Amino acid sequence: MPQQIVVLENREHPMTGLREALSPATGGHACVTVVAGGAQLGDRLRHEPVVDLVLLPFPEGDGCLPAAELLKQVRAVDGDVPVVAVAERGDVHSAAHAVAAGATDFLVLGDRLPDRLATLLGKVRRVLAVVERNRRLRAQNQRLRQVDIERYRLVGESPQIGEVLAPC
């Protein structure tokens, strides 16, 4: 279950109903943070603890940048975080456009929102398991590389070692 959820809102398209539905859908166990623009979203992703899920209005974005551009920025900061494009109305074309732009999934607001959120969070749970495994594997790989570098590091102060270590 996502623990850290970030919701991007803009003034023209507040996602109040979505925010209200998130708490019961996560069993009240998620911390939901609302950001007002793409810059705040980028800062949140760069400087805060791991974000498990990002929700952003599609195709409007933050009012300055369209959602497709914001998706590119999010992917540049964190290529793993699940990002859900949220729309008032949707169709297959809109969903395909959102996924092509980098969204993990597409959510349509409106009636049956709690059911849709439950389905979405079930899918996100599986994605998060894969993301967490990939993060652990990357960290383990980095540690192993560091051990490997240390293992074969030449140590010494003699003139001969100095010649070996000297750049060509």
Question: Which residues, other chains included, contact 45 with Cβ-Cβ below 8 Å and sequence gap of 6+?
Answer: 6, 51, 54, 74, 77, 78, 81
DSSP 3-state assignment of 164? helix
Question: Which residues, other chains included, contact 3 with Cβ-Cβ below 8 Å and sequence gap of 6+?
Answer: 29, 30, 31, 52
80, 61 contact by CB (below 8 A): no
Please count the other Cβ atoms lying within 10 Å of the Cβ belonging to residue 69. 14
pLDDT at 1: 63
How far apart (Å, rounded) are the C-alpha atoms in residues 85 and 103?
6
pLDDT tens string 138-164: 899 999 999 888 887 778 888 888 888
pLDDT at 166: 82
pTM over 0.85: no
Inter-CA distances, 166 with 150, 153, 154, 156, 157, Å: 18, 14, 12, 13, 12
pLDDT tens string 15-73: 777 877 877 777 777 788 888 888 888 888 888 777 888 999 888 888 888 888 989 98
pLDDT at 24: 75
First-to-last CA distance in the chain? 54
Parallel, antiparallel or unpaired: strands 31-35 and 105-108:
unpaired
| CA angle (72 as vertex; 45, 101 as ends), nearest 5 | 125
Domains of the chain, each with CATH number or no CATH: 4-151 (3.40.50.2300)
pLDDT at 131: 80
pLDDT at 141: 93
